[in-house]
Amino acid sequence: MQRIFFQKPTLWVAKNLLGRTLIRRWRGREIRASICETEAYVGENDLACHASKGRTKRSEVLFAKAGTAYVYLIYGMHYCFNVVTEKSDFPAAVLIRAVSIDGKNFSGPGRVCKALHIDKRFHGQNLIKNKELRFERRLGGRLKFSQIKSGPRIGVEYAGAWAKKPWRFWTIGERSVK
DNA sequence: GATAAGATCATCT
DNA sequence: GATGATCTTATCA
State the CATH number of the domain containing residue A28: 3.10.300.10
Q: Which nucleotides of C are covered by protein (CB under 7 A)?
A: 4-8
Q: Is the residue at A61 inside a domain?
A: yes
Banded model confidence at residue A147, pLDDT cuts 50, 70, 90: confident
Beta carbons within 8 Å of A162's beta carbon, 6+ residues apart: A46, A47, A48, A156
Q: Is the residue at A176 inside a domain?
A: no
pLDDT over 70 at A19, yes or no: yes
Q: Which nucleotides of B are covered by protein (CB under 7 A)?
A: 7-13
Q: Is the residue at A167 inside a domain?
A: yes
Q: Which nucleotide is nearest to A120 (CA to C1')?
A: B10
pLDDT over 90 at A142, yes or no: no
Query: Is there contact between A12 and strand B, defined as CB under 7 Å from any strand atom?
Result: no
How far does the CA of A156 sit from the C1' of B4, in Å? 20
- Give the Cα separation of A18 and A146 in Å (integer): 12
Q: Domain limits at A45?
A: 3-171
Banded model confidence at residue A16, pLDDT cuts 50, 70, 90: very high
Q: Is the residue at A94 inside a domain?
A: yes
How many separate domains does chain A show?
Answer: 1
Specify the pLDDT at position A173: 61
Specify the pLDDT at position A175: 46
Query: Is there contact between A63 and strand B, defined as CB under 7 Å from any strand atom?
Result: no
- Whether the CB-CB separation of A21 and A35 falls below 8 Å is answered with yes
How far does the CA of A165 sit from the C1' of B6, in Å? 31
Query: Is there contact between A111 and strand C, defined as CB under 7 Å from any strand atom?
Result: yes
Banded model confidence at residue A177, pLDDT cuts 50, 70, 90: very low
Q: Is the residue at A177 inside a domain?
A: no
**Letter for the amino acid at A163?**
A
Q: Is the residue at A178 inside a domain?
A: no
Banded model confidence at residue A176, pLDDT cuts 50, 70, 90: very low
Q: Is the residue at A135 inside a domain?
A: yes
Q: Which nucleotide is nearest to A78 (CA to C1')?
A: C6
- Give the Cα separation of A47 and A160 in Å (integer): 8
Banded model confidence at residue A108, pLDDT cuts 50, 70, 90: very high
- Give the Cα separation of A88 and A31 in Å (integer): 30
- Give the Cα separation of A75 and A68 in Å (integer): 23
pTM above 0.75, yes or no: yes
Q: Which of A109, A88, A102 is nearest to A7 (CA)?
A: A88
For strand C, which residues in window 9-48 of chain A come within 7 Å by CB? Answer: 39, 41, 48
Query: Is there contact between A73 and strand B, defined as CB under 7 Å from any strand atom?
Result: yes
Q: Is the residue at A145 inside a domain?
A: yes
- Give the Cα separation of A115 and A101 in Å (integer): 9
